[in-house]
Amino acid sequence: MVDLADILAAARAIRGVADATPLVPSPYMSERIGADFLLKLENMQPIGAFKLRGALNAVASVAEGTPGVTCCSTGNHGRGVAYAARERGMRAVVCMSELVPQAKVDGIRALGAEVRIAGRSQDDAQRECLRLVDEEGLEEISPFDAHAVIAGQGTIGLEMLAARPDLETILVPLSGGGLAAGVARAAKAIKPDIRVVGISMDRGAAMHLSIEAGRPVEVEEVASLADSLGGGIGEDNKLSFAMCRELLDETLLVTEEEIYHAMQVLYYEDRIVAEGACVVGLAAVLSGKLAVEGPTATIVTGRNLDMDMFTRVVTGQDVTLGDYVVKGQIYGA
């Protein structure tokens, strides 16, 4: 497993590229909980999301002589791997299916990675990724289930407790669990009685359901306002599942309506443009599902969202997610 020494080493490895981000108070949320409520602004990383940390640490730990790295994420992980590899002068190949929108293809290319288009599904892209590993010797970087990635994400926990040793609770957006595992490991190594809560959307919450079942379970992936939290944890999960099960005090779920409202709160009260994935902690508190005491913080994990969708949310319009419609609600009305 990952320990504090690994996370401290990661902090040295990523320094200068993924630097420390601010931890700022949210006056509105602080008023709501009657104690300081703080936001860790990972949306300010150069790729607009925290995943640069894990990617940089993973690239740094690739063995000497490896000809490059690969992954098949078109989202924040793909951006992180592309940026980290370019920064370290290493080849990166991001595999994606031909169904991926051109804007995402261009975004990854602009960060310096090669894009390999393969087939018509995520599975086809994953196969191409494995072929590059087998035939060209590239190293695949997992978005959440790798030692170096978890240690890299854990540096967020170090920074949070260095800035505010009095934190009592950390609310972590939870998908594959690399972020939650790393942050919880760092925070509890420094302050064993700190409470760390993992939060997901209620549609397709793979880690929450897996912890309940006691083993990794498959989920159906559906569209969500918190799209960065979608996807499974892998049937053969090696690390993030065991660490989340051991280290998280609890996991809980919020609805699309609660996410919609919390996105409006973060925008209108704190003036922050952020993905739906970032506000699940706010949503848990605002909905009354989670009671917190004392100084509390959450992580604003990224800002790479579809601006048309964001505009609909902040102007109170309906948002269609596949066959599900989130009813519009004007903020403050």
Q: How many residues bind ligand PLP (CB under 6 A)?
A: 19
State yes or no: residue 224 binds ligand PLP (CB under 6 A): no
**Rule CB under 6 A: which of 264-283 touch ligand PLP?**
275, 277
Q: How far is the CB of 143 from ligand PLP (least distance, A)?
A: 6
What are the residues facing 40 on neighbouring strands? 23, 299
**Rule CB under 6 A: which of 68-97 touch ligand PLP?**
76
Asked if residues 72 and 126 have their Cβ atoms less than 8 Å apart, the reply is yes
Out of 68, 152, 154, 173, the only residue in the binding site for ligand PLP (CB under 6 A) is 173
Kindly give, in sequence order, each residue whose CB lies less than 8 Å from that of residue 102, ignoring residues fewer than 6 positions away: none
Q: Which stretch binds ligand PLP (CB under 6 A): 3-11, 15-23, 30-38, 169-177?
A: 169-177
Nearest to ligand PLP of 22, 294 (CB atom): 22
HSE-CB for 182 with a 13 A CA cutoff: 36
- Looking only at Cα atoms, what is the longest distance across the chain? 60
State yes or no: residue 144 binds ligand PLP (CB under 6 A): yes
Helix, strand, coil shares of the chain as percentages rounded to 5? 45, 15, 40
Q: Given the structure tokens 């949210």, which residue do they identify?
A: 26
Out of 49, 58, 94, 259, the only residue in the binding site for ligand PLP (CB under 6 A) is 49
Can you say whether residue 48 is alpha, beta or left, with left for phi > 0 and alpha for psi between -120 and 50 degrees? Answer: left
State yes or no: residue 301 binds ligand PLP (CB under 6 A): yes
State yes or no: residue 176 binds ligand PLP (CB under 6 A): yes
Out of 141, 151, 180, 248, the only residue in the binding site for ligand PLP (CB under 6 A) is 180
Q: Which of 132, 131, 149, 125 is nearest to 238 (CA)?
A: 149
The letter for the amino acid at 88 is R
Nearest to ligand PLP of 82, 277 (CB atom): 277
Which residues contact ligand PLP by CB under 6 A?
Answer: 49, 51, 76, 143-144, 173-180, 228-229, 275, 277, 301-302
